[in-house]
């Protein structure tokens, strides 16, 4: 059985909205679990950077809420996490199960890509794979050679072909240092907060009452795919479309940089799903 890391987080009110634990809060917990798993299964993250000139960045997120769970549900949040190497070290996949072992309230899967650092103070690097020394530190049952899923693409195609477009809108933003991590590159964990702002702005202005599902009930699923980074001072546009299907309202988000001189293209794509009756 793959090795597991178990941590307990004291619950506080800032982790929650009135309806559930914030997606960004869960992703931040996932980052803490990732650091712990790297330390247990590979080496301390600082040593990973300094000695192996390697780090990891998030490229995909799947978050599934299994049941209602709010601030008053428990004094602590139990997290059970494990790290698996995918495709011979090309990817690292983190699985986090949140809540009691016999009754979890959410499951978070984070796909990470190893990055080879140049060695400069800017901590710049290029996508790579784990070297043979690091790869050998994974146990036999922590290797997975199966294809990597891309649920964002499947969910988006299904909505575009089978869903009813009920609203759309845009929101502009600027990446501040508070949005960045050590390399002055955006914190991937901030993405759910930007998605929420774009969705809520649409909800407040919506004429179609179905759009308001995106604020009135708990989220059931979040899929996100990160395609390129943003940096301190970059200006961005979040374009959001709302779709209705049987029993679900979904919001499809595309985040682009509009900073002059920055590479063109989509930086991230995400899908938020809300069951019209609340949790499934």
pLDDT tens across 137-149, in order? 999 999 999 999 9
The residue with greater pLDDT, 51 or 118, is: 51
> pLDDT, tens digit, for every residue of 163-184?
999 999 999 999 999 999 888 8
- Answer whether residue 96 shows pLDDT above 90: yes
Residue intervals in the chain for CATH 3.10.129.10: 5-144, 151-275
Q: Apex CA 254: angle with CA 252 and CA 256, to 5°?
A: 170
Tokens 């929101």 belong to residue: 171
Token output for 44: 């301390």
Is the pLDDT at 280 greater than 60? The verdict is no
**Token couple for 55:** 């780090």
Fold of 151-275: Thiol Ester Dehydrase; Chain A (3.10.129)
Answer whether residue 278 shows pLDDT above 80.
Answer: no
Query: What's the mean per-residue pLDDT of the chain?
Result: 92
For residue 35, the model assigns a pLDDT of 94
Tell me the mean pLDDT in the region 65-73.
96
Coil, strand, or helix at residue 226?
strand
Is 5-144 in CATH node 3.50.30.10? no
Give the mean model confidence (pLDDT) for residues 222-231: 93
Question: Quick one: the chain helix, strand, coil %, rounded to 5?
Answer: 30, 40, 30
Q: What is the pLDDT of residue 50?
A: 86
Q: What is the spatial distance between Cα 235 and Cα 251, in angstroms, rounded to a whole number? A: 22
């Amino acid at each position: 059985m793959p090795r597991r890391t178990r941590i307990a987080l004291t619950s506080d009110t800032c982790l929650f909205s009135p309806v559930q634990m914030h997606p960004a809060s869960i992703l931040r917990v996932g980052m803490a679990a990732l650091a712990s798993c790297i330390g247990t299964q590979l080496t301390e993250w600082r040593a990973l950077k300094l000695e192996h000139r390697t780090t990891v960045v998030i490229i995909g997120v799947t978050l599934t809420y299994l049941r209602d769970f709010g601030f008053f549900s428990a004094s602590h949040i139990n997290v059970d996490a494990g790290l698996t190497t995918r495709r011979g070290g090309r990817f690292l996949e983190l699985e986090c199960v949140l809540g009691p072992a016999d009754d979890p309230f959410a499951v978070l899967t984070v796909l990470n890509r190893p990055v080879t650092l140049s060695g400069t103070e800017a901590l710049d690097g290029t996508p790579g794979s784990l070297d043979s020394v690091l790869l050998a530190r994974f146990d036999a049952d922590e290797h997975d050679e199966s294809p990597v899923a891309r649920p964002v693409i499947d969910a988006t195609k299904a909505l575009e072909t089978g869903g009813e477009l009920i609203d759309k809108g845009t929101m502009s933003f600027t990446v501040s240092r508070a949005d960045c991590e050590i390399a002055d590159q955006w914190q991937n964990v901030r993405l759910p907060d930007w998605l929420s702002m774009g969705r809520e702005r649409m909800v407040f202005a919506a004429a179609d009452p179905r759009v308001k599902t995106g604020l009135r009930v708990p989220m059931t699923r979040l899929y996100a795919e990160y395609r390129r980074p943003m940096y301190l001072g970059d200006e961005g546009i979040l374009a959001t479309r709302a779709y209705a299907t049987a029993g679900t309202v979904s919001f499809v988000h595309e985040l682009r940089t509009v900073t002059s001189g920055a590479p063109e293209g989509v930086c991230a794509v995400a899908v938020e799903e809300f069951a019209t009756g609340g949790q499934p």
